[in-house]
Amino acid sequence: MQMKVFLIIAGLVLGGLFPVLAEQQKPAALKTTQVKPREIKIDRNYDGVIDRVEVYNSNGSIIRVEADSNADGKIDEWVYYEANKPVRAEKDTNKDGKPDTWLNY
């Protein structure tokens, strides 16, 4: 009889303790922070050469995109943004590394 009472009391005590112990053993929630990229480099065709670069300001807004449009490994397109909207684009069509075509939006 005493053993049954002891087991019942032990069960109640331990039943109340285990949830408390389990709470203490859980890892603390990780603090999440928002990360804003400054620059993203992309290899779109998986050849090991970066062929698109996106540049962002400190607010996380895009300000420029540079791209290799003909897969020759050289940047030949530039698009400039204001308020996340394109305002001007330049393109190198003769492969000299300098823009020779311009577009204003």
22 vs 104, which has greater pLDDT?
104
Residue 65: is its pLDDT beyond 70?
Answer: yes
pLDDT tens-digit series, residues 20-30:
555 555 566 67
Vertex 91 angle, CA 66 and 65, to 5°: 20
Computed over every residue of the chain, the mean pLDDT equals: 83
What is the DSSP code string of the chain?
A: -HHHHHHHHHHHHHHHHHHHHHHHHSPPPPPP-----SEEEE-TTSSSS--EEEEE-TTS-EEEEEE-SSSSSS--EEEEEETTEEEEEEE-SSSSSS--EEEE-
pLDDT band at 70 (very low <50, low <70, confident <90, very high): very high
Q: Which of 16-20, 63-67, 75-79, 84-88 shows the lowest per-residue confidence on average (mean pLDDT)?
A: 16-20
7 vs 35, which has greater pLDDT?
35
Tell me if the pTM is above 0.85: no
pLDDT band at 6 (very low <50, low <70, confident <90, very high): very low
**Contact (CB, 8 A) for 53 and 66:** yes
